[in-house]
Structure 1
Amino acid sequence: MTHICVAGGTGQVGREVVRQALTLGHEVSVISRNPPASGRSVDNDGATYFRADVTAGNGLSAALAGAAVVIDCLEGKSGRALRNFADGGTRLLRAAHAAGVRKAVLLSIINCDKVPLRFYRSKADKEDVYAGSLLETVTVRTTQFHSLPVQLFAAGAKVGLIPVIKGARFQTIAPAEVATALLEAALEEPAQELHRLRTMGGPEVIAMGDLAEAWKRHTGSWGRLLHLPLPGAMGKFLREGRNLVPEQRYGSETFGSWLAKHADSL
């Protein structure tokens, strides 16, 4: 049994990491700014939740005490969390080192250093922090989750127009399979190379229009597909296929099978 600390363990991937780690019999502590209320029944019963904040450093020592490895699933999408995303990584790793943690695993995004957008840049900056850590680290870059295009399609469908970016293809991946990969990295034997970078994508590459049609079939949406150009750096990134890694496919849950599994919540 390994004591694993999951930073961001109440988020989309973090919840899956916690669930799978508990199923495997590991001891799990969770860092969250908003942990479940005391006594509340949650999916991941058996984990110990700590109210902690990497942007300020509060509560980290208690959450990391006794852990052998920390898995960082934190997100910084806007505001203070985005501004301090890389600095938060520095605080987490320093606290982990002080607590005697031997390894840190970071969840990141494929080719985040190739897009001059703030969100992607923050991911790349945090990768640099991990690459300079005193701990053994593994950075796992993944393609977009299945839920990303679903969010875009659902938002557009509210006004009857489902956005499709011209020339865009995706290699989406299931958050549960990303969680599996993070745990594999966390539990593997120590390596000679102190800092390692891995890249993985979903099992298939699909045009965005085909993803939209699949989503319409599963949801019964009557929205009309609206094919739009996406200018700027992000549009170029997608048109060039830099969000894809067809040679590094991981897992077996396709976009269609994920939609079927989550049909009740779409």
Structure 2
Amino acid sequence: MVMIAVAGGTGLAGRAVVEHAVAAGHQVRSLSRHRPAGGKRVAGVDYRQADFHSGEGVSAGLEDVDCLIETLDARSGAALRSLPVMSVSVLAAAEAAGVARCVLLTIVRAGECPAGYYQAQAARALSYEGAAMPTTVVFCTQFHNLLAGIFAGGAKVGLVPAFKGVSIQPIATADVARVLVEEALVGGTERKSVHIGGPAVTTMKDLAQVWKTATGSKAMVTVMPLPGAFGAFLRAGKNLVPEHTVGTVGFGDWLAARSGVGTA
């Protein structure tokens, strides 16, 4: 039986990977700085405390691991600045432990966006692409969760924001998890890059309306400009990969399947 380790296995994407890998019959080990409380654990998963920044617990966490999936993330501040270094540490530790393949989750065309978060993601991908060991970089479009969070945040002040001229190709974390696990199990010694996106490219305005209808929100869908380089990046469609559709769960389906979707 294959042992899959998930670095960042308690986060949004990491938990989805853990759930999918367990359901597929694999042995799964979640590596994170803090172990989750019992009620937040997935049954059958070996949760280990491992800090890839300090190195504490990493060697023990990688014992007998066949492949590793990195879903570590940070949004701002020192944690974001150190994220590329963390990926270097993940690769070094995995190689030392004899892990057969490392898989990284990152963002489609991150290197073409000057935003700090995207640049950090691009730096991580470069480390994986230049690694001495077998790796796969999975370049992914935006999650449904991110889009819903933007809409819900705006709805709190009565507006569901839709950026002018922007389309999104959102994907479910369950679909992302399936691809990550598949790539972790790939044999061979080559380094690979994979691009994946959700099942449909849709204007942000239309997606906002889908969210409004699904949640019953009374907020008004409002088209607004998104200035700056990030806005230009999105309007140019660089966040899209319509030729690499792998997702099966649309935004409306995802919303319908969720419980407790916030409204305003």
TM-score by length of 2: 0.96
Q: TM-score, normalised by structure 1?
A: 0.95
Measured in 2, the distance between the counterparts of 1:188 and 1:117 equals 32
1:140 corresponds in structure 2 to 138
The residue number in structure 2 matching 1:54 is 52
- Cα contact 2:103–2:135 (8 A) shared by 1: yes
Quote the offset at 1:251 in angstroms.
2.4
- Kindly provide the amino acid, as one letter, of the partner of residue 159 in structure 1: V
Look up the equivalent residue of 1:53 and give its one-letter code. D
Q: Report the AA paired with residue 162 of structure 1.
A: V
Question: Is this contact kept in 1: 2:255–2:261, CA < 8 A?
Answer: no
Counterpart Cα distance in 2 of 1:50 and 1:79: 26
- Structure 2 counterpart of 1:216: 212
Residue 12 of structure 1, CA deviation: 1.1
Structure 2 Cα separation of the partners of residues 122 and 60 of structure 1: 22
Alignment partner, residue 247 of structure 1: 243
The answer for the alignment partner of 1:65 in structure 2 is: 63
Query: Which stretch of the first structure deviates more once superposed, 178-187 or 16-25?
Result: 16-25
Letter of the 2:248 counterpart: S
Cα offsets for 1:108-145 (capped at 9, x unmatched): 10000000111000001011111222210000001000
Q: Check the 8 A contact 1:219/1:263 in 2, yes or no.
A: no
Q: Distance between the aligned counterparts of 1:41 and 1:118, measured in 2?
A: 35
> Matched residues in 2 for 1:265 and 1:71: separation?
29
Q: Which residue of 1 aligns with 2:129?
A: 131
Map of 1:105 onto structure 2 = 103
For residue 16 of structure 1, report the CA deviation from its aligned partner: 1.3
Does 1:22 find its partner at 2:18?
no
Q: Cα offset for 1:43? A: 4.6
Q: After the TM superposition, which segments of 4 or more aligned residues of structure 1 sit over 4 Å from their partners? A: none
2: CA distance, partners of 1:209 / 1:55? 40
| Cα distance change, pair 57–43 in 1 and its aligned pair in 2 (3 A) | closer
Identity %, equivalent residues: 44
- Partner Cα distance (1:78, 1:42) in 2: 25
Q: Which amino acid aligns with 1:239?
A: R
Structure 2 stretches lacking a partner, 5+ long: none
Work out which of the residue numbers 158, 167, 176 in structure 1 matches 2:156.
Answer: 158
Structure 1 residue runs without a partner (length 5+): none
- Residue 138 of structure 1 contacts residue 197 of structure 1 at CA under 8 Å; is this kept in 2? yes
Is residue 2:31 matched to residue 1:31?
yes
Offset at residue 58 of structure 1 (A) = 1.9
Question: Aligned ranges for residues 86-125 of structure 1 at < 5 Å?
Answer: 86-125=84-123
Amino acid at match of 2:222: L
- The equivalent of 2:191 in structure 1 is 195
Partner of 1:75: 73
CA RMSD of aligned residues (A): 1.2
Distance 2:134 2:65 in 1: 14
CA contact (8 A) 2:162 2:224 kept: yes
1:264 alignment partner, SS class: coil
Structure 2: distance between partners of 1:59 and 1:78: 25
Which stretch of structure 1 is more off in the superposition, 47-56 or 248-257? 47-56
Alpha-carbon offset, residue 41 of structure 1: 3.5
Residue deviations 1:81-106 (CA, integer Å, cap 9, x gap):
20111100111111111111111000
**Which 10-residue stretch deviates more, 177-186 or 43-52?**
43-52
Other-structure match for 1:228: 224
In structure 1, the residue corresponding to 2:73 is in which secondary structure? coil
Q: Are the structure 2 counterparts of residues 106 and 59 from structure 1 closer, same or farther at C-alpha, using a change threshold of 3 Å?
A: same
SS at match of 2:103: strand
